[in-house]
Amino acid sequence: MSEATRWMVAIAFISLPTIAFGGYFLLSILKRQAGTEGISGIQREYFKAGHAHAGVLVLLGIIGQIVLDYSRFNESAVWAIRGGLFIAPLLISGGFFGGAPKSSDAQPGNLVKLIPIGAIILSISTLAVGLSLLISL
Protein backbone atom coordinates (compact mmCIF):
# COMPACT_ATOMS: atom_id res chain seq x y z
CA MET A 1 0.00 0.00 0.00
CA SER A 2 1.36 3.38 -0.94
CA GLU A 3 1.93 6.09 1.65
CA ALA A 4 -0.78 8.26 0.06
CA THR A 5 -3.29 5.42 0.21
CA ARG A 6 -2.38 4.65 3.79
CA TRP A 7 -3.08 8.25 4.86
CA MET A 8 -6.29 8.63 2.87
CA VAL A 9 -7.67 5.31 4.12
CA ALA A 10 -6.66 6.12 7.70
CA ILE A 11 -8.50 9.46 7.55
CA ALA A 12 -11.56 7.77 6.06
CA PHE A 13 -11.65 5.03 8.70
CA ILE A 14 -11.23 7.58 11.48
CA SER A 15 -14.19 9.53 10.05
CA LEU A 16 -16.54 6.51 10.09
CA PRO A 17 -17.35 6.64 13.84
CA THR A 18 -18.14 10.34 13.54
CA ILE A 19 -20.57 9.51 10.75
CA ALA A 20 -22.15 6.69 12.73
CA PHE A 21 -22.52 8.50 16.04
CA GLY A 22 -22.39 12.16 15.01
CA GLY A 23 -26.02 12.33 13.93
CA TYR A 24 -27.27 10.65 17.06
CA PHE A 25 -25.21 13.02 19.18
CA LEU A 26 -26.38 16.13 17.31
CA LEU A 27 -30.03 15.10 17.43
CA SER A 28 -29.78 14.40 21.15
CA ILE A 29 -28.35 17.89 21.70
CA LEU A 30 -31.07 19.45 19.54
CA LYS A 31 -33.79 17.62 21.46
CA ARG A 32 -32.54 19.17 24.71
CA GLN A 33 -32.58 22.74 23.41
CA ALA A 34 -35.77 24.76 23.75
CA GLY A 35 -37.60 25.18 20.47
CA THR A 36 -36.03 22.20 18.73
CA GLU A 37 -38.38 19.51 20.01
CA GLY A 38 -40.39 19.73 16.82
CA ILE A 39 -37.87 18.46 14.29
CA SER A 40 -40.09 17.74 11.32
CA GLY A 41 -40.30 14.41 9.57
CA ILE A 42 -38.79 15.87 6.42
CA GLN A 43 -35.83 17.23 8.41
CA ARG A 44 -35.33 13.83 9.99
CA GLU A 45 -35.37 12.23 6.50
CA TYR A 46 -32.76 14.67 5.23
CA PHE A 47 -30.55 13.95 8.25
CA LYS A 48 -30.92 10.19 7.73
CA ALA A 49 -30.09 10.55 4.04
CA GLY A 50 -27.03 12.64 4.91
CA HIS A 51 -25.68 9.98 7.25
CA ALA A 52 -26.51 7.06 4.99
CA HIS A 53 -24.86 8.67 1.98
CA ALA A 54 -21.82 9.71 3.99
CA GLY A 55 -21.25 6.21 5.35
CA VAL A 56 -21.68 4.39 2.05
CA LEU A 57 -19.68 6.91 0.03
CA VAL A 58 -16.78 6.98 2.48
CA LEU A 59 -16.59 3.18 2.24
CA LEU A 60 -16.66 3.45 -1.56
CA GLY A 61 -13.88 6.04 -1.30
CA ILE A 62 -11.77 3.67 0.79
CA ILE A 63 -12.06 1.00 -1.89
CA GLY A 64 -11.22 3.55 -4.57
CA GLN A 65 -8.13 4.73 -2.69
CA ILE A 66 -6.79 1.18 -2.54
CA VAL A 67 -7.58 0.49 -6.19
CA LEU A 68 -5.73 3.66 -7.23
CA ASP A 69 -2.47 2.07 -6.08
CA TYR A 70 -2.74 -0.03 -9.26
CA SER A 71 -3.58 2.91 -11.51
CA ARG A 72 -1.81 3.52 -14.81
CA PHE A 73 -2.43 7.29 -14.54
CA ASN A 74 0.32 9.70 -13.60
CA GLU A 75 0.61 10.85 -9.99
CA SER A 76 -1.15 14.20 -10.44
CA ALA A 77 -4.18 12.54 -12.07
CA VAL A 78 -4.31 9.98 -9.27
CA TRP A 79 -4.25 12.76 -6.67
CA ALA A 80 -7.11 14.54 -8.43
CA ILE A 81 -9.13 11.31 -8.31
CA ARG A 82 -8.20 10.75 -4.65
CA GLY A 83 -9.43 14.26 -3.89
CA GLY A 84 -12.71 13.65 -5.70
CA LEU A 85 -13.31 10.45 -3.74
CA PHE A 86 -12.67 12.40 -0.54
CA ILE A 87 -14.72 15.53 -1.36
CA ALA A 88 -17.81 13.93 -2.94
CA PRO A 89 -19.16 12.38 0.29
CA LEU A 90 -18.67 15.70 2.08
CA LEU A 91 -20.60 17.62 -0.56
CA ILE A 92 -23.43 15.11 -0.87
CA SER A 93 -24.00 14.59 2.85
CA GLY A 94 -23.44 18.30 3.53
CA GLY A 95 -26.13 19.07 0.96
CA PHE A 96 -28.59 16.88 2.82
CA PHE A 97 -27.72 18.33 6.22
CA GLY A 98 -27.53 21.95 5.15
CA GLY A 99 -30.40 21.72 2.70
CA ALA A 100 -32.96 20.31 5.12
CA PRO A 101 -36.08 22.49 5.04
CA LYS A 102 -36.63 24.68 8.11
CA SER A 103 -40.18 23.31 8.47
CA SER A 104 -42.28 20.57 6.89
CA ASP A 105 -43.97 23.01 4.48
CA ALA A 106 -40.81 24.94 3.51
CA GLN A 107 -38.59 24.46 0.49
CA PRO A 108 -35.14 22.89 0.87
CA GLY A 109 -32.31 25.27 1.73
CA ASN A 110 -29.75 26.51 -0.78
CA LEU A 111 -27.12 24.00 0.35
CA VAL A 112 -29.17 21.24 -1.27
CA LYS A 113 -27.43 22.40 -4.48
CA LEU A 114 -24.29 20.68 -3.17
CA ILE A 115 -25.87 17.26 -3.75
CA PRO A 116 -25.72 17.27 -7.57
CA ILE A 117 -22.27 18.88 -7.50
CA GLY A 118 -21.05 16.08 -5.23
CA ALA A 119 -22.79 13.49 -7.41
CA ILE A 120 -21.01 14.79 -10.51
CA ILE A 121 -17.63 14.73 -8.72
CA LEU A 122 -18.38 11.21 -7.46
CA SER A 123 -19.36 10.04 -10.94
CA ILE A 124 -16.23 11.47 -12.53
CA SER A 125 -14.02 10.07 -9.76
CA THR A 126 -15.45 6.55 -9.84
CA LEU A 127 -15.33 6.47 -13.63
CA ALA A 128 -11.74 7.67 -13.46
CA VAL A 129 -10.84 4.93 -10.96
CA GLY A 130 -12.08 2.28 -13.39
CA LEU A 131 -10.43 3.89 -16.38
CA SER A 132 -7.18 4.38 -14.46
CA LEU A 133 -6.75 0.63 -14.42
CA LEU A 134 -7.21 0.34 -18.17
CA ILE A 135 -5.76 3.48 -19.76
CA SER A 136 -2.21 4.71 -19.54
CA LEU A 137 -1.70 8.49 -19.59
Q: How far apart are CA 124 and CA 118, in angstroms?
A: 10
With a pLDDT cut of 70, the percent of the chain lying above it is: 87
Query: Could you report the per-residue pLDDT of 13-28, keeping only the tens digit for each?
Result: 888 888 877 767 766 6
What value does the mean pLDDT take over residues 116-126? 96
Radius of gyration from C-alpha coordinates of the chain: 17
Helical H segments across the chain, by residue range: 3-32, 41-67, 75-99, 114-132
Q: For residue 114, is it within any domain?
A: yes
Q: How many domains are there within the chain?
A: 1
Q: For residue 82, is it within any domain?
A: yes
Domain of residue 23 covers 3-132
Query: Could you report the per-residue pLDDT of 68-97, keeping only the tens digit for each?
Result: 999 999 999 999 999 999 999 999 998 988
Q: For residue 51, is it within any domain?
A: yes
Q: For residue 7, is it within any domain?
A: yes
Report which DSSP code applies to 111.
G
Top-confidence residue, 34 or 120: 120
Q: How far apart are CA 70 and CA 37, in angstroms?
A: 50
Write down the pTM of the prediction.
Answer: 0.81
